[in-house]
Amino acid sequence: MEKNLTARASVTINAAPQKVWKALTTPALIKEWLMGTEVLTDWKEGSAINFTGEYEGKKYHDKGIIKKVVPDKLLEHTYWSSMSGKEDKPENYNLVTYKLDAKDGKTLLTLTQDNNKNEKEKEHSTENWKQVLKKLKEVAGR
């Protein structure tokens, strides 16, 4: 079994990093770009982050821990999905990183998700994040 394959996706958003950061950390805006997901956290390093909602008729409660917060630049948290079929234990958590880089009045947002167990899982995560970032671009660019 392959380990630690990292999914990557990026998007250029026609907005300053501050506006993109607001979309990344405001629950009402997150709900718009993250498929109706409710997010509960205080955005402090070491705090829990909980994601709840319903997907294809199934309720989910995903979770993680906020690892790093650098406003307008970097957000990092661990992530475990209740729909993954994997046991809730540390080795089954991914590390999700959002990196924001200002470029000519726009923001390059790069997302990585590590600890994918194989190439198929990595590709699935990459495609999922591409769709999510497309929606985030719409929300943050308004």
**pLDDT digit string, tens, across residues 67-83:** 999 999 999 999 999 98
Reply yes or no on whether the pLDDT at 2 is more than 80. Answer: no
Over residues 44-64, mean pLDDT = 95
What is residue 3's predicted lDDT score, i.e. its pLDDT?
Answer: 58
> What does the pLDDT average to over 92-121?
96
Q: Do residues 33 and 136 touch, judged by C-beta distance below 8 A?
A: yes
Which segment of 6-10, 31-35, 54-58 scores lowest on mean pLDDT? 54-58
> Cα separation of 39 and 26, whole Å?
9
**Residue 55 banded pLDDT, cuts 50, 70, 90:** confident
d(CA 33, CA 36): 7
> Any idea where the domains of the chain sit in the sequence?
5-140
The 8-class DSSP code of residue 117 comes to S
Q: Which CATH class is domain 5-140?
A: alpha beta
pLDDT classification of 17: cutoffs 50, 70, 90: very high
